[in-house]
């Protein structure tokens, strides 16, 4: 089950569909992995999948280097700070925060303006 879930999530991540989020749901909901551990595994898992996708996009000239620098540096800092802050919460609270985050993103995607 773990291998199949990882393979599926890796493929989805490569297409930019959010396989990492799916991986966290599978690990916590079906495999019994604690929330904080699942999020840590997901961060480690994200590095090779994001790197390989990024290389493909750079090769195809789909990456604006200025935007890349202005988003990567603050994003990395924010991720590190959020990770440190989250380590002070219990697993139950971390699950609620993650669930609320998914709910907000889902509502924004559902009701957001469509690009033409």
Q: Tell me if 17 is assigned to some domain.
A: yes
Largest pairwise CA distance in the chain: 43
Tokens 């609320």 label which residue? 100
pTM here is: 0.59
Range of the domain at 101: 2-111
**The two structure tokens encoding residue 42:** 């997901």
| Of 65 and 6, the one with more pLDDT | 65
Please compute the mean of the pLDDT values over residues 102-109 and round it to a whole number.
87
Structural contact between residues 97 and 86, judged by C-beta atoms closer than 8 angstroms: yes
DSSP 3-55: HHHHHHHHHHHHTTS-HHHHHHHHHHHTS---HHHHHHHHHHHHHHHHHHHHH
Q: Tell me if 56 is assigned to some domain.
A: yes
E strand or H helix at 108? helix 91-111
> What is the pLDDT confidence band of residue 59, given thresholds at 50, 70 and 90?
very high
Q: Tell me if 9 is assigned to some domain.
A: yes
Q: Tell me if 95 is assigned to some domain.
A: yes
Q: Tell me if 116 is assigned to some domain.
A: no
- Min mean pLDDT across 2-16, 58-72, 101-115 is at 2-16
Structural domains counted in the chain: 1
Please compute the mean of the pLDDT values over residues 60-82 and round it to a whole number.
91
**pLDDT for residue 25 is more than 70:** yes
């Amino acid at each position: 089950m773990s291998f199949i879930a990882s393979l599926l999530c890796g493929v989805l991540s490569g297409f930019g569909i959010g396989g990492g989020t799916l991986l966290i749901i599978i690990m916590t909901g079906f495999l019994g992995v604690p929330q904080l551990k699942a999020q840590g595994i997901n961060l480690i898992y994200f590095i090779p999948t994001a790197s390989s996708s990024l290389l493909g996009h750079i090769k195809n000239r789909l990456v604006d280097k200025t935007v890349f620098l202005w988003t990567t540096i603050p994003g990395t800092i924010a991720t590190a700070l959020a990770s440190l802050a989250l380590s002070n919460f219990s697993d139950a609270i971390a699950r609620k925060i993650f669930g609320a985050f998914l709910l907000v993103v889902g509502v924004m995607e559902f009701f957001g303006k469509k690009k033409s």
